Amino acid sequence: MPRDLVIPPKSLDEILDWLHPDRDHAGEIYVQLRHDLTKIFTWNRCADPDGLTDEVFDRVSRKVHGVRLTFEGDPKLYFYGVARNLVKESPKRAKRQVSLEDTDLRAPEASTQDEVAHMREECLNRCLQDLDPEKKELILSYYAKDKQAKIDYRSEMARELGITVETLRVRIHRLRGTIETCIERCLDRMGQKR
Amino acid sequence: MKEEGATDALLRQFLLGRVEDEERQRIESLFITDSQMKDKVLAAEQKLIDDYLDDCLTTADKEAFLLFHGDTAAQRRKLEIARSIQEWAVNRTGKTPIPATPPLSLWDRLRLPKKSILILPIAATAAVAIVFALVWVNNRRTERNREFLAVQQELAQLNTPSSLRDVPAEVHLTLKPTVVRSVESQPELLSRPNIHIVELRLLWMQEKDYPSYQAVVRRAGDGQPYTLDNLTIEKDGGKMIRIRVPARILTRGNNQIELTGVAANGSKSSSEIYSFFVSE
């Protein structure tokens, strides 16, 4: 679980300055770096990727004052180095530690599953309604074909958009991420109301 | 991309947790620092999720996929959302499954004319037969799709820069674009059981070169075409792009390769067509 991470303001300033001299740009890099590190912890099957990402920033904040003067190269690699150490220290999922989130205390009843599926569908509709029409059309076209025709059709789609199939996949990946975040927030709100 | 980069096949193995620790670290550090590599990894991840949703992964790949991408409640939730998006898109294009007819009550059955009651068992048998036929057709489709994806993966592996560089070609055929050799006879490839891999050397006659090339292999008949991305040009004397294909996928008759240059911004050149005849 993510911790209540509190980086002292002075250390946060130093981290941001180290990442980029322009504060707005540094903020963007900071957010992206958090996201990337969480993904890396997930790929390494670490328990609690969000908590470990907090731990990386916590550890860097304690050393940034000295390190930024001596470290050569892309500062993101320093964060990555700290993350690698944590991967080695951290137990892998299903081996030594089970996150509470993943513990099935008892199998959910069918009615609960139906309810969750219904809520998800409702949230999906809401999130898609809010989506820019062009993006909605893009994701609709990407998925709306029979299995057999998909590969050809996606190549054709990419050709029409003047991009490679790879770029099309990246766009869909990001778009799916946006919809996922929207649905998760919607589910949280619905859960709180009930 | 810095250093050697990574092929789609390698990134797939990385995402399935099948690369050595040193290679993993190299890819991860590039993922953090190199935007091109990040896009490549995300594209590979999207492809993997698509294959999972389409049930096109082998059993071993599916197990590895679920271990790395469907192990926690949060990951499973993401996969469920991805599936919901896919289902929504399919339903929006008019492929909504036909709702099952509610079963007839005893009263309804009694109210039916006698003739209908006699027809019912026959209709039920026919319906069962249709369902079995549909399941069979669907299985065949899934099987064909799996075979197609397996070949697509094999093609990607055969055409990595290291494979092309390090593994000698069994047999090769040099091809000119169809327009250029319009007055010459069509090159012919004699298919033999001992030939497993065929190297096609596609001469690039356009003045402009591109950072990468895409080849689409179209076989004789109505087979599904295969696509090869990220091919590079070689300038040994003339300019050519080498591709390798398993001989078994080439069918007897006229086969075609469509080659296109891909610029750094993703825009494409006009295509060149290369034809050759496969005989036994």
Pairwise CA distance, residues B27 & B6, whole Å: 8
Touching A: B residues 183-202, CB under 8 Å:
none
Is the pLDDT assigned to residue A18 strictly greater than 70?
yes
Do B86 and A176 make contact, defined as CB atoms within 8 angstroms? no
Q: Are residues A81 and A128 in the same domain?
A: no
CA distance A30 to A82: 15
Chains A and B form CB pairs within 8 A to the count of 126
- For residue B225, list chain A residues with Cβ-Cβ distance below 8 A: 152
* B262 or A114, which is more confident: B262
Same-domain pairing of A142 and A85: no
Q: Quick one: pLDDT at residue B94?
A: 57
In a domain, A15, yes or no: yes
List the single residue in A144, A163, A170 with the smallest CB-CB distance to B89.
Answer: A144
CA dihedral B218, B221, B223, B227 (to 10 degrees): 0
Look at residue B183 in the predicted model and tell me its pLDDT.
52
Cβ atoms of residues B236 and B133 within 8 Å: no
Instruction: Name residues 48-107 of chain B within 8 A of A (Cβ).
Output: 50, 54, 56, 67-68, 71-75, 77-78, 80-82, 84-86, 88-90, 92-93
Q: Do A169 and B54 touch (CB under 8 A)?
A: no
Region for B5 from its dihedrals, namely left if φ exceeds 0, alpha if ψ lies in -120 to 50, beta otherwise? left
Partners of B189 in beta bridges: B278
Residues of chain A with C-beta less than 8 angstroms from the C-beta of B266: 162-164, 167
More confident residue, A4 or B46: B46
Which chain B residue's Cα is nearest to A158? B266
Same domain, A145 and A174: yes
Same domain, A91 and A19: yes
The answer to whether A71 contacts chain B (CB < 8 Å) is no
CB B55 within 8 A of CB A77: no
What is the predicted pLDDT for the residue at A95? 40
pLDDT for residue B180 = 60
As a whole number, the mean pLDDT across chain A is 83
Best B19, B27, B42, B48 residue to mutate vs chain A (most A CBs within 10 Å): B42
Please report residues of A whose CB lies closer than 8 A to that of B78: 180
- The stretches in chain B having pLDDT less than 50 are 1-3, 95-112
Cβ of B51: how many Cβ atoms within 10 Å? 20
Report residue A93's pLDDT band, with 50, 70 and 90 as the boundaries: low
The reported pLDDT for the residue numbered A99 is: 42
Element (H, E) at B128: helix B114-158
Residues A154, A92, single domain; the answer is no
Domain-embedded: residue A102: no
Domain count, chain A: 2
Query: Do A93 and A122 have their domain in common?
Result: no
Write out residues 124-153 of A within 8 Å (CB-CB) of B. 124, 128, 139-140, 142-145, 147-148, 150-152
H/E segment holding residue B241: strand B240-246
> Mean of the per-residue pLDDT values for chain B?
80
Higher pLDDT, A80 or B227: A80
Are residues A29 and A54 located together in one domain of the fold?
A: yes
Task: Name the domain boundary from A97, A130, A163.
Answer: A97
Which residue segment(s) compose the domain that A61 sits in?
9-97
> Which residue bears the tokens 């998925």?
A143
Contact A147, B54 (CB under 8 A): yes
In a domain, A46, yes or no: yes
What confidence tier does A100 reach under pLDDT thresholds 50, 70, 90? very low
For residue B49, what is the nearest residue in chain A, using CA coordinates? A173
Task: Identify whether residues A155 and A77 lie together within a single domain.
Answer: no
Using CB atoms and an 8 Å cut-off, which of residues 103-142 of chain B contact chain A?
Answer: 141-142
CB-based contact (8 Å) between A88 and chain B? no
Contacts of B180 (CB under 8 A, 6+ apart): B203, B205
Domain boundary among A44, A71, A97: A97
A105 falls within a domain: no
Q: Which residues, including other chains, have CB under 8 Å from residue B14's CB and lie 6 or more apart?
A: B6, B23, B24, B27, B41, B44
Measured CA to CA in angstroms, residue B169 lies from A98, A163, B199, B274 at distances of 51, 32, 6, 19
Residues A88 and A117 placed together within one structural domain of the fold: no
Q: Which of A97, A120, A136 is the last residue of a domain?
A: A97
Residue A39 lies in a domain: yes
A121 and A155 both lie in a single domain: yes
Taking a contact as any Cβ pair under 8 Å apart, which residues of chain B between 246 and 265 contact chain A?
A: 262
Binning pLDDT at 50, 70 and 90, where does residue A78 land? Answer: very high
B25, B38, B73: residue with CB nearest A102: B73
Model confidence pLDDT, tens digit, residues A117-176: 888 888 998 998 888 888 988 988 898 776 657 777 888 889 989 999 999 999 999 999
Q: Measured between alpha carbons, how far is residue A141 from residues A121, A133, A150, A162 in Å? A: 19, 12, 10, 16
Over range A98-109, report the average pLDDT. Answer: 43
Per-residue pLDDT, A117: 80
Both A92 and A115 in one domain: the answer is: no
Distance from CA of A85 to the nearest CA of B (A): 12
- Measured between CB atoms, does A57 come within 8 Å of chain B? no
Output A37 or B226, whichever has higher pLDDT: A37
- Using CA coordinates, name the residue in chain B closest to A77: B29
| A3 within a domain of the structure (yes/no) | no
CATH number at residue A140: 1.10.10
Whether residue A2 is predicted with pLDDT greater than 70 in this model: the reply is no
User: Is B81's CB within 8 Å of A151's CB?
Assistant: no
The answer to whether residues A87 and A52 belong to one domain is yes
Residue A4 lies in a domain: no
pLDDT score for A60: 94
- Is the predicted pLDDT of residue A54 greater than 80, yes or no? yes
Write out pLDDT tens, residues B80-126.
888 888 888 888 765 443 333 334 444 444 444 555 555 666 677 77
pLDDT at B95: 47
**Complex confidence, ipTM:** 0.83
What's the token pair of residue B159? 């055409």
Interface of B with A in 218-237 (CB under 8 A): 224-225, 227, 229
Residue A174 placed within a domain: yes
Please judge whether A102 and B86 are an interchain contact, meaning their C-beta atoms are less than 8 angstroms apart.
Answer: no
Query: pLDDT tens digits, residue range B129-163?
Result: 777 777 776 676 677 777 777 788 788 878 888 77
